[in-house]
């Protein structure tokens, strides 16, 4: 048995069931092993950023790692941006990177590079297999490292000869995986004491606290104390819609974010860290905690913050159930001929989206416009652009759809963002995934137009404006979608979008595969 | 004056005239400076791999660096694969990467990463600006480092506050740039002595030895000694066509490459290093120098190998002019209805391509089929996939067209490779570049089908074959091209391709902008 086959069988025993890949020559024995062994689905991606984004999406929906299989330093490099988002999402990912055979590396052949060095910035753990005898043990170690307890990207560099060598079958059984750390009763008690004394506390949640159970506990606390519940701007996954507690989402721009937190005298950090602005601006502080406010850390991404919040709610004698607003019917469309904007897209989603949907948000300005509309709409999981590396949406949807096969998955993408990793559409078509992609065609890096103004760089001239402009030429996303085998339509008005969404949902319910709606806004 | 403006003015003084960019918030002061200052053209790219590939193409054609302007770690990461190709091409590139303001970095905002760490694997030099007072001096240093003397990628990390701070104008004048190192007379003499004694030497050239003057000198030597002249498989740029010396191109597959070199008793390395196989294979040596053959290093990429070869030719009393074969007319097309293959594409290029063309080859198996046809055809520069990171062709063409505005530029791309960086088409359309892109639609990672067989991984089953197959669904490259604003046609037969090529050339001569021909093979 090739060592590669022992490794694949070992990974399956650890619960790794899917591999997002773009392999090359140095990974051919892994390809052969994936072929020979039942139990691990291989998903081919035309670009490695699709593979890593898909692994992130799968992890966010299942809580466990998919693996990637990438080709040497350059293949890995192409996947780094979405690994950055994955590490910021604390998503467990097993990133397997082929390398040259050990004896081949010092010869500095054209594809040689420092693979470990390329892994390091976006990985919480990097290991390099040193011989075929180590392959299975290191594979188990890598899966364990992806579980943390702070979950994230574990990268395993696999030299070709270590994969191709024949060793005695070395298939390892299921190993113990690290769990989130329990938060101590003393920490909870300290937090309760501080909260009881505070006049105007804010519960600031992030990470797993934004899943249904965490929100429920946080909502109990906020209602008991009659205080604000604020969520980090880009949480990995937020459980939303009717029946769920809906925290205030911290605003993106620093001035507005400061407003969200102003006058509070205590910030309880639960599942995240103290809030900071996304970017720095001349003369503006990046730290958003109000002057003089006390900071209490209940726990971070490595901690079982759901349990801690529930314990805290109990100590505070909060009601067992948080109050939620009654379900409101979705409004009718106003004027179907009105020009489309992101708010109307949110309204149509409210009107038609099934419960239990998944929304992958890579739409920057447009996503911000949609988010509020779905607060009390159909239940859904909203997956944010955790690391700010655009090009996440359509790849994330690939993985989310594998991880949540019973959910309707949406990818909401700005046109600038979608252009980064549009190759994901091909994998969606190949795998007949019933994903609805919405590309917001504002033909601009719109957020940068705001930012250029905000950073105080002076009045922009034509060359600066041109660098933020995507209208020359306008991308034709209908053709781009069709070119990758995805059914695509354009919507210019409120009514056209509403109709296109209904048609796309019907097509997905019929198993017709991925749909693309170009929202001209 | 913002420090960013001093920097841009300083760069222009160093001869840096073009910037390939995809900026973000942290680069807004550079955007404003590029807007304010005359003399530096800004070229917007939808994906950073386009920007870095374009910088490589520009450098290969001009011998001097373009700059990039990339957004933090993830933006840089997206450009790494083509920086890998650039470093393997010894192409001078000034890679400017924005980072968070210095005080913002320790706050670990979502887009924070180890930017220097991401730069390092693909850069020959990395510098990080520490204050606005350093911006201009470090910019000069970075340009100098790109010139080497071993040329390559110099990466300059520019924190946002260093760019936005107002300093006294600090515009530096033109500095001395390192040149290639002269090869000593003793080295040349030793080589001459060894060659004179050898029975069956091979002159093995690479790097700048493959440009016209180097080839001329190497050809004189080979003709004087009546010995083989062999070129590295993936030279950065090869001067080819009628009137040029045409070395044997070392075969890609190790067995055939060994055949190219067998029985030689001396290998003179000129501008490259001792040949090694691209990949390792079980039980096969990676080093291609025949057992017992003497290795003589005349010089490597940092050396003025053209001068060294000319001196060597003189010492050996080689004829002043190398003999070249007479110009042969291009053959007529055989049967216009025959199905297309790469050889016929080569034939059409021979028939219609103007002299002084530039060919960017990212077509793997198809490129290998075209290359021999143009040996004695119109003059051209052939730019190889130096680092094996596919997705180079169309970006390289963007930069080559800016660097060689009087040349007809072609990008020859496999469909797998083209899918990596198809966003380059948009920049070509935006800049109205008269580039002819040919996408070879074999709907497969064809080379991997060969490799899977060669690595001895056993008979591939359906899952393995599927991982190398791009036919489900077939990409529609006509739509993909049109989607990015590029005129596109499909050619299925020999005659259709020939006609499409003539039409594309005419369109380019009329200044109609980029053309895409889908070669169904």
- Which range (A10-14, A204-208, A321-325, B18-22) has the least confidence? A321-325
Please give, rounded to a whole number of angstroms, the shortest distance from the CA of A187 to a CA of chain B.
Answer: 24
pLDDT of residue A414: 97
Size of interface A-B (CB pairs under 8 A): 316
- A423 and B419: CB-CB below 8 Å? yes
% of chain B beyond a pLDDT of 70: 100
Of the CA atoms within 13 Å of residue A340, those in its CB half-sphere come to 27
Residue B253 has phi, psi (to 5 degrees) of -75, 140
Which residues, in sequence order, are bridge partners of residue A297?
A: A269
- B467 and A388: CB-CB below 8 Å? no
- A104 and B280: CB-CB below 8 Å? yes
Q: How far is CA B195 from CA B101, B210, B442, B479, B496, in A?
A: 58, 20, 45, 56, 50
pLDDT of residue B101: 97
CB neighbours (10 Å) of residue A1?
14
Categorize the per-residue pLDDT at B462 as very low, low, confident or very high, splitting at 50, 70 and 90.
confident
Contact list, B429 vs chain A (CB under 8 Å): 473
Q: Is the pLDDT of residue B103 over 90?
A: yes
| For testing contact with chain A, the best of B8, B21, B25 (most A CBs within 10 A) | B25
Q: Check if B253 contacts A (Cβ < 8 Å).
A: no
pLDDT tens digits, B424-438? 999 999 999 999 999
Please give, rounded to a whole number of angstroms, the shortest distance from the CA of A374 to a CA of chain B.
Answer: 25
Please give, rounded to a whole number of angstroms, the shortest distance from the CA of A72 to a CA of chain B.
Answer: 9
| For testing contact with chain B, the best of A31, A45, A295, A418 (most B CBs within 10 A) | A31
Q: Reduce the secondary structure of B275-323 to three states and give it as a string.
A: CECCCCCCCCCCECCCCCCEEEEEECCCECHHHHHHHHHHHCCCCCCCC
- B279 and A164: CB-CB below 8 Å? no
- A42 and B88: CB-CB below 8 Å? no
Q: Check if B513 contacts A (Cβ < 8 Å).
A: no
Give the one of B25, B389, B462 whose C-beta lies nearest to A279's C-beta: B25
Q: Check if B97 contacts A (Cβ < 8 Å).
A: no
Please give, rounded to a whole number of angstroms, the shortest distance from the CA of A185 to a CA of chain B.
Answer: 29
- A484 and B475: CB-CB below 8 Å? yes
Q: Which residues contact B483 (CB under 8 A, 6 or more apart)?
A: A475, A476, A477, A478, A479, A480, A483
| For testing contact with chain A, the best of B18, B77, B415 (most A CBs within 10 A) | B77
Tell me, rounded to whole angstroms, the distance of Cα B114 from its chain centroid. Answer: 27
Q: Search chain A and give the residue with CA nearest B107.
A: A276
Contact list, B461 vs chain A (CB under 8 Å): 35-36
pLDDT of residue B457: 79
Q: Check if B472 contacts A (Cβ < 8 Å).
A: yes
Q: Is the pLDDT of residue A307 over 90?
A: yes
Q: Which residues between 314 and 373 in chain A have a beta carbon less than 8 angstroms from any beta carbon of chain B?
A: none
pLDDT of residue A121: 98
Strand B515-520 to B435-441 pairing: parallel
- The answer to whether A426 touches A375, Cβ cutoff 8 Å, is no
Distance CA A105, CA A339 (A): 58
Higher pLDDT, B239 or A459: B239
Q: Check if A277 contacts B (Cβ < 8 Å).
A: yes
Higher pLDDT, B254 or B236: B236
Distance CA B133, CA B162 (A): 8
* pTM greater than 0.90: yes
Q: Check if A388 contacts B (Cβ < 8 Å).
A: yes
- B28 and A455: CB-CB below 8 Å? yes
Contact list, B46 vs chain A (CB under 8 Å): 416, 419-420, 470
% of chain A beyond a pLDDT of 90: 91
The region that residue B301 occupies, defined by phi over 0 for left and psi between -120 and 50 for alpha, beta otherwise, is alpha
pLDDT tens digits, A343-373? 999 999 999 999 999 999 999 999 999 999 9
Please give, rounded to a whole number of angstroms, the shortest distance from the CA of B404 to a CA of chain A.
Answer: 23
- The answer to whether B377 touches B75, Cβ cutoff 8 Å, is no
- A107 and B278: CB-CB below 8 Å? no
Strand B380-383 to B238-240 pairing: antiparallel
Q: Check if B461 contacts A (Cβ < 8 Å).
A: yes
- The answer to whether B191 touches B268, Cβ cutoff 8 Å, is yes
Q: Is the pLDDT of residue B458 over 80?
A: no
- Which range (A171-185, A228-242, A320-334, B175-189) has the least confidence? A320-334
pLDDT tens digits, B119-150? 999 999 999 999 999 999 999 999 999 999 99
pLDDT tens digits, B357-411? 999 999 999 999 999 999 999 999 999 999 999 999 999 999 999 999 999 999 9
Give the one of A26, A84, A423 whose C-beta lies nearest to B113's C-beta: A84
pLDDT of residue B349: 98
Contact list, A461 vs chain B (CB under 8 Å): 35-36
Q: Please give the domain boundaries of chain A with CATH numbers for all domains.
A: 3-164 (3.40.50.970), 185-315 (3.40.50.1220), 342-520 (3.40.50.970)
Q: Is the pLDDT of residue A85 over 90?
A: yes
Q: How confident is the prediction for chain A on average, in pLDDT?
A: 96
Q: Is the pLDDT of residue A325 over 90?
A: no
Please give, rounded to a whole number of angstroms, the shortest distance from the CA of B140 to a CA of chain A.
Answer: 23
- A419 and B429: CB-CB below 8 Å? no
Q: Is the pLDDT of residue A83 over 90?
A: yes
- B461 and A24: CB-CB below 8 Å? no
Q: Search chain A and give the residue with CA nearest B119.
A: A118
3-state helix, strand and coil shares in percent for chain B, rounded to the nearest 5? 40, 20, 40
Please give, rounded to a whole number of angstroms, the shortest distance from the CA of B342 to a CA of chain A.
Answer: 22
CB neighbours (10 Å) of residue B172?
16
Distance CA B426, CA B516 (A): 12
- A482 and B484: CB-CB below 8 Å? no
pLDDT tens digits, B3-55? 999 999 999 999 999 999 999 999 999 999 999 999 999 999 999 999 999 99
- B46 and A107: CB-CB below 8 Å? no
Q: Check if B121 contacts A (Cβ < 8 Å).
A: yes
% of chain A beyond a pLDDT of 70: 100
Q: Search chain A and give the residue with CA nearest B478.
A: A483
| For testing contact with chain B, the best of A12, A467, A471, A481 (most B CBs within 10 A) | A467
Q: How large is the ipTM?
A: 0.98
Categorize the per-residue pLDDT at A432 as very low, low, confident or very high, splitting at 50, 70 and 90.
very high
DSSP character string of B127-156: EE--SGGGHHHHHHHHHHHHH-SS--EEEE
Q: Check if A49 contacts B (Cβ < 8 Å).
A: yes
Q: Which residues contact A488 (CB under 8 A, 6 or more apart)?
A: A477, A478, A479, A480, A481, A482, A515, A516, A517, A518
pLDDT of residue A149: 94
Q: Check if A284 contacts B (Cβ < 8 Å).
A: no
Helices and strands, counts by H and E, chain B:
20, 18
Q: Determine the average pLDDT of the residues in B463-481.
A: 93
Q: Is the pLDDT of residue B93 over 80?
A: yes
DSSP character string of A482-495: HHTT-EEEEE-BHH
- The answer to whether A423 touches A46, Cβ cutoff 8 Å, is yes
Q: Determine the average pLDDT of the residues in A125-131.
A: 98
pLDDT of residue A514: 98
Q: Which residues between 415 and 434 in chain A have a beta carbon less than 8 angstroms from any beta carbon of chain B?
A: 416, 419-420, 422-423, 426, 429-430
Please give, rounded to a whole number of angstroms, the shortest distance from the CA of B447 to a CA of chain A.
Answer: 9
Q: Is the pLDDT of residue A207 over 90?
A: yes
Give the one of B46, B280, B467 whose C-beta lies nearest to A100's C-beta: B280
Give the one of B117, B273, B463 whose C-beta lies nearest to A34's C-beta: B463
Q: Check if B49 contacts A (Cβ < 8 Å).
A: yes
Contact list, B482 vs chain A (CB under 8 Å): 476, 479
- The answer to whether A266 touches A201, Cβ cutoff 8 Å, is yes
Torsion, CA B358, CA B363, CA B364, CA B367, rounded to 10: -50
């Amino acid at each position: 048995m090739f060592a590669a086959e022992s490794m694949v069988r070992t990974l399956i025993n650890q619960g790794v069931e899917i591999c997002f890949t773009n392999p090359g020559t140095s990974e051919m024995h892994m390809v052969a092993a994936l072929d020979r062994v039942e139990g691990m689905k291989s998903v081919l991606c035309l670009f490695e950023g699709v593979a890593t984004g898909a692994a992130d999406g799968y992890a966010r929906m299942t809580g466990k790692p998919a693996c990637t299989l990438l080709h040497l330093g350059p293949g890995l490099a192409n996947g780094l941006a979405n690994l950055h988002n994955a590490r910021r999402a604390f998503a467990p990912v097993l990133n397997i990177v082929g390398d040259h055979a050990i004896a081949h590396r010092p010869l500095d052949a054209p594809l040689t590079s420092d693979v470990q060095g390329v892994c390091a910035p976006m990985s919480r753990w990097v290991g390099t297999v040193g011989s075929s005898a180590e392959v299975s043990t290191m594979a188990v170690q890598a899966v364990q490292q992806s579980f943390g307890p702070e979950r994230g990207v574990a990268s395993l560099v696999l030299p070709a000869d270590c994969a191709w060598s024949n060793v005695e079958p070395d298939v390892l059984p299921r190993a113990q995986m690290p769990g989130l750390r329990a938060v101590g009763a003393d920490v909870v008690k300290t937090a309760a004491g501080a909260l009881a004394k505070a006049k105007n506390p804010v519960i600031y949640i992030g990470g797993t606290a934004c899943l249904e159970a965490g929100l429920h506990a946080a909502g109990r606390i906020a209602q008991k104390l009659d205080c604000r519940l604020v969520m980090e701007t880009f949480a990995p996954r937020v459980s939303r819609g009717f029946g769920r507690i809906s925290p205030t989402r911290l605003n993106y721009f620093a001035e507005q974010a400061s407003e969200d937190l102003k006058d509070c005298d205590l910030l309880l950090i639960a599942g995240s860290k103290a809030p900071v602005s996304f970017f720095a601006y001349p003369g503006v502080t990046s730290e958003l905690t109000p002057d003089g406010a006390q900071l209490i850390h209940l726990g971070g991404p490595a901690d079982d913050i759901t349990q801690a919040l529930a314990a805290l709610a109990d100590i505070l004698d909060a009601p067992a159930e948080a109050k939620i607003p009654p379900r409101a019917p979705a409004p009718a469309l106003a004027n179907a001929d009105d020009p489309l904007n992101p708010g109307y897209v949110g309204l149509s989603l409210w009107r038609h989206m099934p419960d239990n949907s998944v929304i992958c948000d890579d739409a920057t300005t447009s996503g911000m416009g949609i988010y509020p509309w779905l607060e009390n709409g159909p239940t859904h999981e909203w997956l944010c652009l955790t690391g700010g590396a655009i090009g996440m949406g359509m790849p994330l949807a690939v993985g989310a759809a594998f991880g949540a096969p019973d959910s309707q998955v949406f990818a909401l993408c700005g046109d600038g963002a979608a252009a980064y990793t549009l190759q994901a559409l091909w994998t969606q078509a190949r795998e007949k995934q019933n994903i609805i992609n919405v590309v917001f065609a504002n033909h601009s890096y719109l957020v940068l137009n705001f930012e250029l103004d905000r950073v105080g760089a002076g009045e922009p001239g034509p060359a600066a404006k041109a660098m933020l402009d995507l209208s020359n030429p306008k991308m034709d996303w209908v053709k781009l979608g069709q070119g990758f085998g995805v059914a695509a339509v354009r919507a210019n008005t409120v009514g056209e979008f509403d109709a296109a969404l209904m048609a796309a949902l019907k097509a997905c319910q019929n198993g017709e595969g991925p749909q693309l709606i170009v929202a001209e806004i």
